[in-house]
Each structure stands twice: as structure tokens, then as C-alpha cells.
A and B are shown apart, each in its own frame.
Chain A
Amino acid sequence: MDSSGEDINGMVEKDDAPKGPSGQKETSTADMLRIKQQMSNQCFEMEVYLNAGKNRRSCSTSEAERDYSDHISELERVKTLQFNQTLALHRMQMWHAMGEKIKTNDPEADALKVVNQRCMALCCRIKQIQQETRLLQDEITELQKKRLEMKRLTHEKMKEMEDLMSRKEHPDTEKYKAALEKGQTNLEKYKKMSIMAQNVLRGLLLACKINWLDDPKLRDVAMTLEEFPITD
């Protein structure tokens, strides 16, 4: 593949562009300043390039990278500082110019004064509203604190209640259980005794062929024998 280069016709230029001193349109002061700035930028670049070889020292690539980033951050810091200071300077110049203007009594100064008054009124209003906002915000914070407190109390009370409930059942049921068991054992014992007595009486009545129908007292006693089932 042959290494072809630039095409003679490979140049694109606007037809009505100002081509040189012959066809140049009138350059205003702003344009002149711009061109001067451009040229000073270019000269600065060339100067930098010329001075580039002067402070040569050998170091490794990683060291160079580190120095590079350090220099870049320093440069950025200084640029930001300069930018902020220029802004401050412009602000001061503006205020000075406005002050001077207001001191004169033209219609423009009057218009400026009207705008100033409006700005002041708006600023007062803003301050007022900010104070109100602050008060409302404080109230809201108070309410929120109260609500949180309420919640905490409710939580505590619920825990207490739960505690109490679980605790109360325990001692009662224990005593109750013990008494219940004792009663039950007693009941069993007496039941057995009475069943045994009844069985003995029934046996006696049957064996001795006692006529219990005639005697009312004996009849009552015999009737009660039917109530309990015959157990061993």
C-alpha cells in the first residue's frame, strides 16, 4: 500500500472567509484584543516548548507520573484561586460602578434606585418568610419529639403488661395445681373407701337375705348402693 499523502485538492475553506490583508473586513477593537490574546497564547506555548529541555533530570516513569499529578493539582488549585479572586474583583468593581451611578441623578440612576428598592423589599420578605419557616420547623420538631416519646411510653407499657400477664398465671396456677392435686388424691381415696364399704354392705344384704324392702331406713340405704358402679 503506497503511503499517499495530502491531496492537493484536499483543502476545504469557506469561500467568503476573509483571506488575508487584501480581502479583510474591518476588525473591531474586540477582535484585535482577541487576536492579541491568541498570539500571546501561542507565544506562551512556544516559550514553554523552548524551555522544556532545560530542567532535565532522569527519573523513572512512575516518579514522573506522580510529579505530574502533583503539578496538575497544584495548577488547578492556583487556577481556582485566581478565578475566585477575579470574580471577587469583578463584584467589587460592579458595586463601585453602581454606587457611582446612583450618586449621579440621571433617569438611569432613578431606574436603578427603583430596582434597588424592590430588591430590598424582596430581601425583607425573604427574611420574614425564613423566620416563619424556622418557627414552623421548630414546632414540627417538637411534635415529632413528643410523638416519639409517646411511642416509647406505649412500647414500655405494652412490655410491662405482657410481663405481668405472664407472671400472674404462673404463681396462681402453681398453688392451684397443688391444691387441685391434693384434692383429687383425697377424692380418690374416699371414693375407694366408700365403694369398698358399699360392696361390703351389698354382700352382707345378699348373703344374709335381709329383707330391705320393708324397713324404710334400710330401703334408703340399699337404694344408694345402686348409684355407684360396681368396681373392683
Chain B
Amino acid sequence: MSRLNPFAKLPGLNTASVLLVESEEHFQQSLAEALVEETSVTVNVRLAKSFPLPIENDESRPRIDLVVFIINLTSELSFQSAEASLKYLEPGYFLGKVCFMVTNARSSSVPAERLDAVRRLAASLHCPLLFAEEQTPEGVTNAAERLLTILKAAAGFVPFTTPLYLSNLTRCTLPPDIDQPSFD
């Protein structure tokens, strides 16, 4: 099976490419539109539903600097699809070029175990975990801003910082009482 390789292609000049993976294809579009508003660098946004990516696009696809898995906490399928897609990425991506973004964390219908499971996954892969609010335009703009910070570091635009170093500062950590029942 073909895996996505971070270093297989040459990087683009003054360009950063990000791949948004979301199985519902709901938040991707608005987030993408917010991301391309950035003027100082050219941001290429590719959207995908899940891995593996179709081979036809292999040639035209640029080098992906950051892969963002968008997980909707209200659906179990979203989490499972993201987990299944992880094996299609080369290990080189997990040194700071993968990020998890979670939506609907405040919804009351979300079981606490799912958030814990996402946390454990992000912590075991040493990746940052962002929480986003997709219903309002401000929420989308905020999420795009935070994502851009990570993207700029991943694409090499921040001097003296590599994505590995940044991921070490921003990685998700597990609270020590994660195995104890919550107070609900």
C-alpha cells in the first residue's frame, strides 16, 4: 500500500500545503476558506475524506507539510476513520507534521470516553490536539489562526524552529487522572 511520504517531493517556494482529513466533510470547507485568507505565504489546502488517497492525484499533489485529522466527537465513525487512516502515513509525518483537531467537544451527547480516547491517541503519537468550534464564523477564524501557526512552523517559515521542536512544546499530554471516572 502506498503511504504518504513527507520528503518525497521538493518543497514549494513561499508555499505551505496542508491536508485536511475529515470523514464527514463538513468543517473542512469553511476551515479551508479561512486558511487561504493568509497573505504572507501561499497556503495550499487539500481536502480528503480518508486515507488511502487516490493514486491519480499523486502527481499533481504538492508536498504536504501538515496533515490535520478533523474528528467530530459526536460520531464514533469519525474517530475510527481517523484512526484507520493513520497507517497510511509514513512515520516521518509523526515528527510534528500531524495535528488532530476536535469539534463539538462541548456537546452534551458526547461520551467522555471518546474524548479520552482521542487524547490518548494524540498523546501516544506526540501530536498537538486542538479544539475547534465550527458553528460560528469566529470559531472558524480562531481555528484557522491556530492551525496556521502550526502550519507555518511545519513548512519552515519560523526561523530556528523545526516542526519536531514545536510539536514537543505543543503536544497533547494526558492528565494524570484520566483513568479515574469523571465527576458527571
Q: Which residues of A contact B (CB under 8 A)?
A: 3-8, 10-14, 17-18, 31, 34-35, 37-42, 44-46, 48-49, 72, 75, 79
Contact = CB atoms under 8 A, between A and B. Distances in A.
Nearest to B62: A11
Given A5-B49, A10-B47, A42-B156, 7 more contacts: A14-B37, A37-B159, A38-B14, A41-B158, A41-B161, A45-B162, A45-B164
6 contacts: A12-B36, A12-B47, A14-B36, A38-B157, A42-B156, A44-B162
B45 interface: yes
Nearest to B153: A41
A13 B51 contact: no
Contacts, number: 93
A223 to B, nearest CB: 98
Nearest to A4: B49
Contact of B33 (A12, A42, A79): A12
B49 A45 contact: no
A6 B48 contact: yes
A41 B162 contact: yes
Interface string B38-73: 000011111111111110110001000000000000
Contacts of B37: 14
Most buried by A among B37, B160, B163: B160
A72 B168 contact: yes
Contact of B48 (A7, A12, A48, A72): A7
Contacts of A17: 36, 42
Contact of A41 (B14, B35, B159): B159
Contacts of A6: 46-48, 53-54, 57, 61
Interface in B144-184: 155-165, 168
Nearest to A86: B160
Q: Which 8 A-B pairs have the closest CB atoms?
A: A41-B156, A10-B47, A5-B54, A12-B32, A5-B53, A38-B156, A12-B45, A14-B36
